[in-house]
Amino acid sequence: QIAVRACFLGFAFGCGLLLSTGRSAWRHFGWYMCSLSLFHYSEYLVTAINNPRSLSLDSFLLNHSFEYNLAALSSWVEFTLEKILFPELKQITWLSTVGLLMVIFGDCLRKAAMLTAGSNFNHIVQNEKSDTHTLVTSGVYGWFRHPSYVGWFYWSIGTQVLLCNPICVVGYALASWRFFRERIEEEEITLIHFFGEEYLEYKRKVPSGLPFIKGVKVEL
């Protein structure tokens, strides 16, 4: 099953590469296909390097959630319909380039966060502290408390800027912001339980990294 998923992502990347190098109106969709397949494959690869004990089929994040899959399908539908109705909208190369840069920045930041956290990183929020669990505050964690979420946030929005999908740009921004706001609050409750004052001090010094998200409120 791992091989099937890896081959599928490799095939998707190859198809995207062919579209990207052509002169067709689907060139920017090829960029998107390469970005999407590389993101999911590298999620599995970096997890295998960092934390092999937590490695599973879910590490590809291909079955992240029904909402995630619905969002992807919605972006494909919007791109196709707008390409038919407003073909000039899909040929704004400078805007697609901005989106591609957002995608590259977001994915690089997320992978840097995973590599910096090492075995402390897990796709699932942990409810129990292991013996090797430590609070990571160096590297990109010195910039943001949740760099992996910041990276994913801008990566997801960047994919829709790349596709010149105005509806999904707004929809992805709102949905991602709401998801990460709830996820960060949930995770920070656990981190405060694990590390106590050490995490609270870190929380006071380093921002979450996401706009208008301050994390869980702590009553003094």
Rounded CA separation 203/92 (Å): 41
pLDDT number for residue 174? 97
In CATH terms, is domain 63-219 a member of 1.20.120.1630? Answer: yes
Q: Which two three-digit tokens encode residue 117?
A: 């956290």
158 to each of 2, 53, 104, 117, how far by Cα in Å? 28, 31, 9, 24
Model confidence at 220: pLDDT above 70: no
Q: Where are the domains of the chain?
A: 63-219
Q: Which two three-digit tokens encode residue 154?
A: 């801008």
pLDDT digits (tens, 9 = 90+) for 173-209: 999 999 999 999 999 999 999 999 999 999 999 999 9
| Residue 13 · residue 48 · CB < 8 Å | no
pLDDT number for residue 197? 94
pLDDT number for residue 132? 73
Q: How confident is the model at residue 166 (pLDDT cuts 50, 70, 90)?
A: very high
pLDDT number for residue 219? 66
Model confidence at 82: pLDDT above 90: yes
Model confidence at 24: pLDDT above 80: no
pLDDT digits (tens, 9 = 90+) for 26-73: 999 999 999 999 999 999 999 999 989 889 999 999 988 899 999 999
When the pLDDT of each residue in the chain is averaged and rounded to a whole number, the result is 93
